[in-house]
Structure 1
């Protein structure tokens, strides 16, 4: 049975606060043939949305007795606001998708932990996931989110343009890039070929500009702790260094400072740029354009290790007023099914599979160019932990203003760093609303 709809705000506001309880899944009172209702929320649209529908339908085929109601809500703050309200009101779905970086948004009381024994009974153990991803979804030793994938910032490159610019290795892949100066030089050489720009980056889109900033900041050794009450514990020198790179990048020749989240991938798709800095999801637009391109791991601009900003689409068990053991068991079944069938999710959407059985499979390794950057899963850097941090968060939006001031040259890197640090200090005095 296929049921899809959108939830109204009124429905969520009617929920009343209640504590969630743990379910003993093995004590399910229903017989194995009885129908089970399962509510699942996600935020996937576009090509990712189509791929997620395929995964859900695959589970429907595997478990015909489970009646899945899948609800797609608007990505970003609207999704997380409604999910938090539903959790607080005890009327949450049985299963939901969440960015690993947003776990802090939900504090410690709005999600139930995953039972490792129940996962083991379905053939899944923690040693099958990349350690950097596990480090983010484990809270005080408890698994609070089950990772489906990792999606880091990656480097797209047009093979024809790069060949003409002398940037390819003998095997036809991009010659290794070591350091910020080599990346900037590669952009200049690509711009000479395109007659436009060398690198496309949506500097006017807060997520697109945040990804290379956070990658460079972490490569420079920058740490960021955001304790309640403040002040923010940051490395100002590393912040200035990362912002200086972005300013030098967006000089109008290497990269235009006026591209946004749509015009940036469009510039690459129309071959007006030889490179593109963005997440792996734009593989769809590049393929649709029919241009000669490939993808590789984002380079080490500073230091020897290519630390890179990333996030993880993960499954969570929202706290409910009363847990239905049968529905909770079905939630485990559905999540594991989607993990095990995530090859199409990876091949079509560019995401790195979290489950090693898929990530190490010959089938995934044969998927080019999306498997080229699979090793990035071992060096991913999530956003700093805070209730206002993570994908689609207030931090990303406000940091975007500081970064855009630098790339647009209305702020120096030093001024941009001080602007962001000042905002962080102010934000930390407000305290979490949860």
Structure 2
């Protein structure tokens, strides 16, 4: 993709990660003219264009927050556009940024940051901009903050942590006898201990113990593979993974389906419906479904609760990611638009209690998550420890949320759950897909 740098003298160099972390960065200038949005125009408002891929239940919460932002900022015309999740969104982002015609700010998955070629297609963010709008590096979890940098430049602002979690029907779990004195799901250790709970749940529901998205099997695989301390690293033309640990993770999936403890097929909508209709006592799905289940409960929104993934291999690691704000590359920036853009991002982070409450995601902004209001929020507080257990997908251009590794392995894991492919054959096919992807060039480079 062609590079569209700012004209000479229009912007100072981005500050380094070291400067951001120590708070000693120098002031940075801002470009002279806007490429996309413009200040003023036909009205007195400064227009800020925002692109996102949040079309689910969390998208409705984001829209509500956008309305509140606009009400508090009558001088800013926020123009938010939602594109199709996954490939449609990232294709639009890359094409728009390569031509200098993207939005002023966009919401991406942090796991995809390097795959969108930030040095070419994104503009870095400076410490002075953050401070001017009340943000500080210390406001974010260190592990997540570090992932926002590429080549010592800050390209992303984390919005949240979202992860694969374990929802449970409180009434059914009470019948099984697996709630503690505080009414929370007991912790187990090992595959068999949790399978025993699923077997008991299956007897009560008459159908399944748990439900899950069989087309999104990468999430379950990566959670259990990482619980077993499995590593997956990529170089330009090679990779390393632990076959024994990968096979153990896939065998869990196969055995769960073989015993009828989960559906042999269920997409995202079906697995959620199974839980709602008491066809299963549990469902393993992302924390973004919290609002759907609350609404389903009607006058009883507390019919369910949530906790971290069960401990199968010695810990409760799980697959997850972060939504993050990035600034698509502009040929140059109108200073009023740039300032309004950072104000939008800062406001959304500072008001992300609502994002956690309604969207289910754990806000990345620590003044919110460490606050007494959030710590008292249920069921969010019960799974708040997931932030420390989130495992990002392996680092490769074809990896990350909605990337090709996720998509292409989905069909393989679906066949495992359908008992149409053995774990050994599935592992061989996964490795073959990885080798094919490694041989392809990064289309963004």
Corresponding residue SS for 1:378: helix
Displacement of 1:16 in angstroms is 8.3
Aligned to 2:45: 35
Q: 1:40 and 1:267 mapped to 2: Cα distance?
A: 35
Change beyond 3 A, Cα 1:266–1:382: same
How do 1:138-287 residues align onto structure 2 when only pairs under 5 Å count? 138-203=149-214, 205-206=215-216, 209-228=217-236, 230-287=237-294
Q: 1:27 and 1:196 mapped to 2: Cα distance?
A: 61
Aligned to 1:6: none
Aligned to 2:436: 426
Aligned to 1:309: 319
Corresponding pairs, count: 414
After superposition, the CA RMSD in angstroms is 2.1
Q: Is the 8 A contact 2:108 2:324 kept in 1?
A: yes
Q: 108-117 or 372-381, which moves further after superposition?
A: 108-117
Change beyond 3 A, Cα 1:80–1:342: same
Q: Is the 8 A contact 1:232 1:421 kept in 2?
A: no
Displacement of 1:20 in angstroms is 4.1
Change beyond 3 A, Cα 1:18–1:256: same
Aligned to 1:19: 5
Displacement of 1:61 in angstroms is 2.4
Q: 1:226 and 1:405 mapped to 2: Cα distance?
A: 26
Corresponding residue SS for 2:81: strand
How do 1:231-380 residues align onto structure 2 when only pairs under 5 Å count? 231-290=238-297, 292-303=303-314, 305-380=315-390
Q: Write out the 4+ residue segments of structure 1 that deviate beyond 6 Å after TM superposition.
A: 26-31
- Report Cα offsets for 1:201-232 as digits up to 9, x if no partner: 121x23xx22111111111111111222x222
- Report Cα offsets for 1:167-202 as digits up to 9, x if no partner: 111221111122222221111111111111100112
- Report Cα offsets for 1:260-284 as digits up to 9, x if no partner: 1111010000111011000011112
Change beyond 3 A, Cα 1:299–1:134: farther
How do 1:90-129 residues align onto structure 2 when only pairs under 5 Å count? 90-107=100-117, 108-129=119-140
Q: 2:31 and 2:146 mapped to 1: Cα distance?
A: 31
Change beyond 3 A, Cα 1:27–1:408: closer
Aligned to 2:398: 388
Structure 1 unaligned residues grouped into runs of 5+? 1-14
Aligned to 1:75: 85
Displacement of 1:126 in angstroms is 1.8
What TM-score results when the alignment is normalised by the length of structure 2? 0.88
Displacement of 1:96 in angstroms is 0.7
Q: Is the 8 A contact 2:110 2:323 kept in 1?
A: yes
- Report Cα offsets for 1:228-273 as digits up to 9, x if no partner: 2x22221111111110111112225211111211110100001110
Structure 2 unaligned residues grouped into runs of 5+? 13-27, 34-38
Change beyond 3 A, Cα 1:241–1:86: same
- Report Cα offsets for 1:126-170 as digits up to 9, x if no partner: 222123322322223322110111111111001111111111112
Q: Is the 8 A contact 2:263 2:417 kept in 1?
A: no
Q: 1:48 aligns with which of 36, 52, 58?
A: 58
Q: Is the 8 A contact 1:25 1:329 kept in 2?
A: no
- Report Cα offsets for 1:41-95 as digits up to 9, x if no partner: 1112232222112222222223221222111111110000010001111112111
Q: 2:316 and 2:142 mapped to 1: Cα distance?
A: 16
Q: 2:143 and 2:220 mapped to 1: Cα distance?
A: 18
Q: 395-404 or 117-126, which moves further after superposition?
A: 117-126
Q: Is the 8 A contact 1:352 1:377 kept in 2?
A: yes
Displacement of 1:288 in angstroms is 2.2
Corresponding residue SS for 2:394: coil
Q: 2:278 and 2:433 mapped to 1: Cα distance?
A: 38
Q: 2:192 and 2:149 mapped to 1: Cα distance?
A: 37
Q: Is the 8 A contact 2:356 2:380 kept in 1?
A: yes
Q: 1:171 and 1:59 mapped to 2: Cα distance?
A: 38
